[in-house]
Amino acid sequence: MSEGNGAQVKLARKDFQSDQEVRWCPGCGDYGILTAIQMLMPELGVRPEEMVFVSGIGCAARLPYYMNTYGIHSIHGRAPAIASGVALARPDLHVWVIGGDGDMLSIGGNHLIHALRRNVNLKILMFNNQIYGLTKGQYSPTSELGKVTKSTPFGSLDQPFNPVSVALGAEASFVARTHDMDRKHMTEIFRRAHEHRGASFVEVYQNCNVFNDGAFDTILTKDARPNMLIDLHHGEQIRFGDEQQFGVVMNEYGEAKIVNVADVGEAALLVHDEARPDPTLAFALSRLADQPTTPTPVGVFRAVQRPTYDSEMQRQLAEASEKSGLGELDALLRSAPTWSVG
């Protein structure tokens, strides 16, 4: 990376670490996510002052304090809306949005889906621990049916959101999933999100070891991963298992189903196409696991290109300026219709 005088400057993780003490519960999965982000940043070729991290409210929302970049600790659920404003006003900045499953899918659900459908150039990371951690363990929009918490002593009656399905339903142009137990995988997914031009949505399975410990153990323990994680790779057959004995096929109803490869033959296996314009295939893959207790896809579900909201807005502004002259704000405010009062 070069400075204005042409001199080369090599960035390191320490350049993206703030002087604030990191304060999460010991053992929290957020530590691993923060480390992955800070270790990736020097590789992106972007200086700290060219980045903004915007968060809402919750445990995950503390992350901007720990980044030596610009940051906004905003209000509950509104981070995507505030970040959209930053991206529109300053398209030269790289804007990341950080939030939890409660922050983004409860009070912030409306802001999230509109940021995605508009394809604002944002990198949205949603830490999903299936619980409200900061407010001490209430059930969240991703908690499983029957979840017993302080707010649901007889078990939750709410059908949980599948965040990847929600993002795909909102026509997000980049949708992925990773988890806090694999730094290499997180780093690669975050890199892909950064490289994508448009709204990137990444769900990160994150363990809350105080209020929901072990929520992902069924799929994320070291022994379980080979047979429980379905790693998606563009252009490759979807296959998994410690001996690659399992695969994914599409049935006659357009549903993705897990099979034994020996039963159907290799030719029947589904080939992953993250660049497919229609989100149907990605959505079918997102429905393979309603909850992270059965074989669950991770990786990039969808990565397509379409016009971004910020670039289209800049285009309209340029067109309006050409048609009306300088396009000064004062002239706009004084243009007809106007009224005289008094």
What confidence category does residue 321 fall into, taking pLDDT thresholds of 50, 70 and 90? confident
Region 327-333 average pLDDT:
66
* Nearest 10 degrees: Cα torsion 168, 172, 178, 184: 150
User: Is 129 within 8 Å of 215 (Cβ atoms)?
Assistant: yes
DSSP string for residues in 79-115: HHHHHHHHHHH-TTSEEEEEEEHHIIIIITHHHHHHH
Q: Write down the CATH number for the domain with range 13-223.
A: 3.40.50.970
H/E element, 324: helix 309-324
pLDDT at 2 over 70: no
Q: Which residue type, as a one-letter code, is found at position 313? A: M
How far apart CA 87 and CA 45 sit, in angstroms, is 19
What confidence category does residue 322 fall into, taking pLDDT thresholds of 50, 70 and 90? confident
User: Is 29 within 8 Å of 208 (Cβ atoms)?
Assistant: yes
Q: Which of 40-49, 56-65, 222-231, 328-337 has the lowest mean pLDDT?
A: 328-337
User: Is 238 within 8 Å of 269 (Cβ atoms)?
Assistant: yes
How far apart CA 16 and CA 47 sit, in angstroms, is 9
Three-state secondary-structure class, residue 235:
coil
How far apart CA 257 and CA 251 sit, in angstroms, is 7
What confidence category does residue 320 fall into, taking pLDDT thresholds of 50, 70 and 90? confident
How far apart CA 25 and CA 242 sit, in angstroms, is 34
Q: Which of 22-36, 191-205, 238-252, 303-317 has the lowest mean pLDDT?
A: 303-317
**Distances 56 to 75, 77, 127, 129, 184 between C-alpha atoms, Å:** 5, 6, 12, 16, 26
How far apart CA 79 and CA 52 sit, in angstroms, is 12
Domain boundaries, the chain: 13-223
User: Is 175 within 8 Å of 148 (Cβ atoms)?
Assistant: no
What confidence category does residue 324 fall into, taking pLDDT thresholds of 50, 70 and 90? low
Three-state secondary-structure class, residue 203:
strand
Structure tokens at 227: 């047979």
